[in-house]
Amino acid sequence: MRTPLALFFVSIGLIAAAWWWLAAPVTLVRAPIDPEAKLECVSYAPFRGEQTPHNPRLIVSPEQIAEDLGELAKVTKCIRTYSIDNGLDKVPELASKAGLKVLLGIWIGRDRAKNVLLINHAVALANDHPGVVTSVIVGSEVLLRGEMTVSDLREFIRSARSRVHVPVTYADVWEFWLRYREVAADVDFVTVHFLPYWEDVPPRAEDAAAHVDEVRKQLTVAFPGKEILIGETGWPSQGRMREIAVASRINQARFIAEILERARTEKFRVNLFEAYDEPWKRRWEGTVGGYWGVFNASDRRLKYPAGIAIGNYPLWKWQMAGGLALCILVFATAGLALRRRSSSPRLASWMAVALSATTSGVLLGVSLDKLLYESFGFDGWLRQCALLAAAIAAPLLSTHALMSERPIPAFLDILGPSERRTQIFITTLLGVTLIAITLISVETALGLVFDGRWRDFPFAALTMAVVPFATLALLTHPRSGARPIAEVVFASLLAMAALYIGFNEGSANWQSLWTCAVYLLLGFTLVQAREGKSSEGKAFDGKASEDEASEPQSERWSNGASSQLR
């Protein structure tokens, strides 16, 4: 009794310590957004919920825009827009009432006739609001997207510049400004996008502001006599890791504070990307695309109010409490299963229970956080909820099986012919849970192989789900028999995917390496299954006990089922 009790308290202590570390807040020297020192400018798009600029019939109401601008006026002097479609042509008028200046953007692309109409409309808006529109941005990353030739772009810029009384510019990433330097001759100042997270070799968040400033200085040399406006810069608060670049609340706040401090010290202008999180972008850019804002999309509140310490898990107390509750349930399940067992379990069994309970207790809160932020669309929510449900069930069902000395059932024991299927309900649940985890794992692994740029790494929930099964397989798997073909095929797919993902993402991406390790661990678990071994048999040594050997098989199944269902 002392061993399980000691392990229980060790698990509780480790979970509490882990969450104390995970939730540790940081206090920056300067607040990311300081109401006493307003931002120079911030990118603004009004789209909420299911609203998207890809819907040409959508017209965002002036009331919705005015509500946003009223909040933004508290923290910034200026907003940058990207388009005058979808009701955004009302922004200059509404910005005037809110006391904001506007960098008026024109979204041009492949449709030349539409480009002409948009430029004409923007010219009229700029001339009608001379005290509000401070510059016109003709195009944003149109060269990067490959939607226009340099000569056509220069023609459109000159057309707009000749008809307005404010400075005109073009915006693109810094690499394309250096590639197409001739465009600078047609603009009044150079507007450059610096999104270090998305660079080919992204820096750490701690080094990102210095990297942006260093490249900015290179551009001042490349374009003498032209102001270099940082037209976009920011860092995501949620999403997948790219090499050493980690998307998190702390990293976003740190980057914003550091780049703004450099701008104040070295006297250059910065337009932050962006004002509000934009959920619609997640369909095309994954989770990370929707979380660049300094305001939340849902409640339109500032993410980092001045004077409040910043942490990655604002709800950590509830997340820790959920983990502790799950840990208690795992140990309670072990205790209940022991009531139907004649012999005492080995130390290794209790160590396995403690490992499952601790792992699940630490990662439950992380998994819940990822469920809320990474689920998008019906299929996304279905996948995330199914994975989390399996991750919660796995330690409970595996612990019960371990203490009942029952191995993991083969897939055929669950889905095979009726005479092969297990008759014990809780064993069926165990097998169904493993099948669900396997299918979700293979789906996510193949997604990361063939479309990995935008996909998140499901390391937290998968670890919760796989570790209990791995310990169960290690301690109770049959020692003889052929490996079932289904398990071998899935294990092979996971192994090949893990090797590719690990190589493709690089050794610096710990989220990728963690996820790949879990895929390999699941593959190891699957190949422990054996054909012809009933999941109802006790299998620490691969053999039934002497009493079971003398009992007819059908009678053992019946007795086993009744004992489990009482």
Which pLDDT does position 342 carry in this prediction?
A: 67
Position 199 pLDDT exceeds 50: yes
Beta carbons within 10 angstroms of residue 13's beta carbon: 11
pLDDT at 556: 39
Average pLDDT of the segment spanning 527-554: 51
At residue 420, the pLDDT reads 81
Q: Are 194 and 230 in contact (CB under 8 A)?
A: yes
SS3 23: coil
104 has a pLDDT exceeding 50: yes
517-532 mean pLDDT: 92
Question: What does the pLDDT average to over 259-275?
Answer: 96
pLDDT at 3 over 50: yes
Residue 184 predicted with pLDDT over 80: yes
> Cα separation of 93 and 75, whole Å?
19
Mean pLDDT of 52-65: 96
Mean pLDDT for 356-371 is 98
% pLDDT > 70, the chain? 93
Question: Taking 80 as the threshold, does the pLDDT of residue 154 lie above it?
Answer: yes
Tokens 């950590």, located at residue: 316
Q: Are 483 and 529 in contact (CB under 8 A)?
A: yes
Tell me the fold of 40-289: TIM Barrel (3.20.20)
Task: Calculate the alpha carbon distances from 144 to 111, 179, 377, 470, 506 in Å.
Answer: 16, 11, 29, 47, 25
DSSP 121-171: HHHHHHHH-TTTEEEEEEEESTTTTT-S-HHHHHHHHHHHHTT-SS-EEEE
State the chain's mean pLDDT as an integer.
92
Q: Residue 432 pLDDT more than 70?
A: yes
Q: Is it the case that residue 530 has pLDDT exceeding 90?
A: no
Domain locations along the chain: 2-13+315-565, 40-289
Rounded to whole angstroms, how far apart are CA atoms 499 and 502? 5
Peptide bond into 551 cis (omega under 30): no
Average pLDDT over residues 460-481: 91
For the segment 369-383, the average pLDDT, to the nearest whole number, is 94
Element spanning 171, H or E: strand 168-173
CB 565 within 8 A of CB 431: no
Q: What is the mean pLDDT of residues 391-415?
A: 94
Identify each DSSP E strand in 253-358 by its residue range: 270-272
For residues 180-194, average pLDDT: 98
Whether pLDDT at 546 is above 70: no
Closest by CA position to 212, among listed 157, 266, 292, 291 = 266
- Over range 199-208, report the average pLDDT: 96
The pLDDT of residue 533: 53
Separation CA 52–CA 50 (nearest Å): 6
